[in-house]
A and B are shown apart, each in its own frame.
Chain A
Amino acid sequence: MPSLDSKNLNNSVVDVQSFAMNFGRKEVIKDLSFNVKRGEIFGFLGANGAGKTTTIRTLLGLYEPTRGTLLVNGERYNPNMSANIGYLPEERGLYRNEPVINTMVYFAVLHGLSESEAQKRAIAYLKRVGLADKANERLVKLSGGQQQKIQLGVTILHEPSLMILDEPTEALDPVNRALLMDIINERQAKGATVMLVTHRMDEVEQLCDRILLLKDGSVALYGKIDEVKEQFGSQIIALNYSGKLPVNDKLYKVTKRLPHHAELVWSGNINTDEVLHFLANQHDLHITTFEVRRPSLNDIFLELYKDQEGKNV
């Protein structure tokens, strides 16, 4: 596991060192160290129950750590720093019976904006996400996806320099997911740092500069996406086919098998050509496409959690 780069310490917006957390006798986080650099999009990943939300809540002062230090911009977080932070929690929620605009303005003012500025930005945001006509509706009247957009608005209206987004695209359709991705990218382009928690590995690959994958309260993978992939291991062959894919343990191992799609990894002393040559000579197998590539984050994630498959992934 790469250790924290001390040269980048001053450049760190989030700095977690030797963090451990127990709830009663249960050890949720064992020993966690990482940093999030200024201006990057950092993917904070892990299965349900891995300790992501606990780490974020402790970072934001909602829990007291059992051990270790968790700093935001070099100091322990307190609500007086909220002007620089936009937090979208895993447990979504705003005032359900309040008009949308009132809730947005209230939180924006708590984040340090003046009421008039908050009002102006809230209206502009609602226009942007297509909810201008809902400004005076009670939140409870909006659909889940619309509420999600309001929640994101509350998170970003004050233009924070650090956004901590816990599964921001959950409950959004593809169109709105794309819209939200655009908003996140825009914020990053303006210099904001993003700490992103998500289970969608495609989003991570598209957005993130670096990732940390948490497993059982410890770091399983940490670094740039390419480095992590490198770290994780060999390339794979992805095939789309018809017919029958033969078993050949000497040449390769099938890591994923669907009716017309398979992914193979091959032994270290055998090259790709030998595998493809073998497959091409199978009379009852017709290969429509193939790709030699590094494993995706999704593959890595599944591989890491293989032993827990069916339990909580």
Chain B
Amino acid sequence: MSKLGNVIGFEVRRNLKKKTFWYTSLFLPVIIIAVFAITHASSNHASSSSQQQTSSYSKTAKLGVLDETGLVNKQVLLRDHIVIEPNEQAGIDGVKDRKLTAFFYYPKNVTQVGIQVFAQDQGIAFTPPYNALASQLLSQSAVATVSSATHDSEAVQILQKSPSVTATTYKNGVETNGLAGIVAPIIFYVIFSFFVVMLSYFMISATTEEKENRAAEILLTTIKSRSLIIGKILSIFVLGFVQIVIIIVPLLIGYALFHNHISLPGGVSLSHIPLDAKAIAIGASVLLLGLVMFTGILVGFGSLFPSAQEASRYLGIVILSAFIPLYAIGYVVSSPHALIVTVFTYFPLTAPSTVLLRNAVGTLSTGDALGVLAMLLVTATLSILFAVRAFNYGAMAYNRRISIKELFR
């Protein structure tokens, strides 16, 4: 096996044995699962509790109604033992005098001013579904009116439940994937973000361990610094791959089991994810070069410091720069030619996330894509050279920080 292979094998093995690696790897999926489970349980509980409360409330509440629209179905009111009030003030007084639990007032111009609800305060622990009931009363009446007037069951169904929409979009006369087209290329952005957040500490501390342990000197007489740095970078990628597998396997299992039941916003179904070869190729290339660039910068940066603890103080600055484009997401998505988007697209530290987002939402031209890939290729190469130089100079500065000026003197 080559020395490079030995470095990768050794680094991967020893990092896989570290508890911190598994803590950070399992932290995210555990949090995702926990949040999902809690949200799901809480939502189910709230829904069931609300249904119970509404049902119980509907049975026990004394309701009054004044309908100036003439839309509310009298039979529905009679069915539910709802009192019709002579005027608005009488209804309000009924609530104030506790004769009514709630009073719903439907003014003539209800579509403009809305339904007025007056009700007893039941305390903060229980919020009765006044608004839902008032609205439901009107919509049920409307459905009943349409039903009796047209006898058209489809029209009634449409009123009761909005039909699903399937959109087909075209660009330059060619059918596009619409919102569903975002799913595959956005995965590259997610992976990039994941790598930067989860592995940046491993990147910045990749060489500080050798310095802290005083092993750099013997290593540098045994293996070329370039091979060592490349080996360390590749081992970080392997570790990142392991972490992604840890996260993705449960997601894939979930997808396999539930893909027909899960829909994303905008009616995008996970049962059919369109794959655009060009977008995927650009996404994969930007991801790879962006990661190499970031890793090179962080490994090199770490080499300038005597300890991982000292180096990691500056980690936030680099991570933040990767995510700054998110603050301008509106421009990135809707105004790709805005100056700020152009700057983010071509500034090395912000380029990967900006370009991956633009690639996903379809606002990245082929020219921009090629320009950014060329720029990333150059900066990724320079970042590796920086890392090698920084390690060469910093490796034996055991107790002090090397300045950038000193590095290029």
Which of A79, A91, A106 contacts B221 (CB under 8 A)? A79
Stretch with Cβ within 8 A of B (4 or more), from A13-21, A82-90, A237-245, A282-290: A82-90
Task: Given A61-B221, A79-B220, check contact A110 B215 (CB 8 Å).
Answer: no
Question: Counting CB contacts under 8 A, is A95 at the interface?
Answer: yes
Question: Counting CB contacts under 8 A, is B255 at the interface?
Answer: no
Chain A residues in 8 Å Cβ range of B6: 106, 109-110
A150 to B257, CA, bound (A): 54
Task: Given A95-B14, A102-B14, A106-B6, check contact A111 B222 (CB 8 Å).
Answer: yes
Chain A residues in 8 Å Cβ range of B3: 79, 110
Contact of B213 with A78 in the complex, beta carbons under 8 Å: no
Contact of A82 with B222 in the complex, beta carbons under 8 Å: yes
B7: min CB distance to chain A, Å: 8
Which of A79, A91, A98, A102 contacts B398 (CB under 8 A)? A91
Contact of B215 with A62 in the complex, beta carbons under 8 Å: no
Chain B residues in 8 Å Cβ range of A91: 214, 217, 396, 398
A169: min CB distance to chain B, Å: 18
A297 to B274, CA, bound (A): 82
Chain A residues in 8 Å Cβ range of B209: 95
B376: min CB distance to chain A, Å: 30
Number of B interface residues at 8 Å Cβ cutoff, please give it: 23
Chain A residues in 8 Å Cβ range of B7: 110
Contact of A62 with B214 in the complex, beta carbons under 8 Å: no
Q: Which residue of chain A has the shortest Cβ distance to B395 in the bound complex?
A: A62
Q: Which residue of chain B has the shortest Cβ distance to A106 in the bound complex?
A: B10
Contact of A95 with B215 in the complex, beta carbons under 8 Å: yes
Q: Which residue of chain B has the shortest Cβ distance to A109 in the bound complex?
A: B6
Contact of A87 with B396 in the complex, beta carbons under 8 Å: no
Chain A residues in 8 Å Cβ range of B220: 61-62, 79
Question: Counting CB contacts under 8 A, is B149 at the interface?
Answer: no
A61 to B217, CA, bound (A): 10
Task: Given A95-B14, A106-B10, check contact A82 B213 (CB 8 Å).
Answer: no
Question: Counting CB contacts under 8 A, is B400 at the interface?
Answer: no
Task: Given A79-B220, A93-B218, check contact A62 B213 (CB 8 Å).
Answer: no
Task: Given A106-B6, A110-B6, check contact A60 B215 (CB 8 Å).
Answer: no
Segment 44-103 of A: residues with Cβ below 8 Å from B? 57, 60-62, 77-80, 82, 85, 87, 89, 91-96, 98, 102
Q: Which residue of chain B has the shortest Cβ distance to A151 in the bound complex?
A: B218
Segment 93-126 of A: residues with Cβ below 8 Å from B? 93-96, 98, 102, 106-107, 109-111, 115
Give the size category of A's interface with B. 20 to 34
Chain B residues in 8 Å Cβ range of A85: 221
Question: Counting CB contacts under 8 A, is B223 at the interface?
Answer: yes
Chain A residues in 8 Å Cβ range of B218: 87, 89, 93-94, 107, 154
Chain B residues in 8 Å Cβ range of A82: 221-223
Segment 1-28 of B: residues with Cβ below 8 Å from A? 1, 3, 6-7, 10, 13-14
Question: Counting CB contacts under 8 A, is B151 at the interface?
Answer: no
Q: Which residue of chain A has the shortest Cβ distance to B5 in the bound complex?
A: A109
B64: min CB distance to chain A, Å: 75
Question: Counting CB contacts under 8 A, is B96 at the interface?
Answer: no
Contact of B224 with A107 in the complex, beta carbons under 8 Å: no
Q: Which residue of chain B has the shortest Cβ distance to A96 in the bound complex?
A: B213
Encoded as 1 (CB less than 8 Å from any A CB) or 0, chain B from 33 to 49 comes to 00000000000000000
A242: min CB distance to chain B, Å: 49
Task: Given A78-B224, A111-B222, check contact A89 B217 (CB 8 Å).
Answer: yes
B386: min CB distance to chain A, Å: 18
Interface residues of B, Cβ cutoff 8 Å to A: 1, 3, 6-7, 10, 13-14, 209, 213-224, 395-396, 398
The 6 closest A-B pairs by CB, nearest first: A93-B214, A89-B217, A110-B222, A82-B222, A91-B214, A93-B215
24 contacts between A and B (CB under 8 A): A57-B217, A57-B396, A60-B221, A61-B220, A77-B221, A78-B224, A79-B220, A79-B223, A79-B224, A82-B222, A87-B221, A89-B214, A89-B217, A91-B214, A91-B398, A93-B216, A95-B215, A102-B10, A109-B1, A110-B6, A110-B7, A110-B222, A110-B223, A115-B1
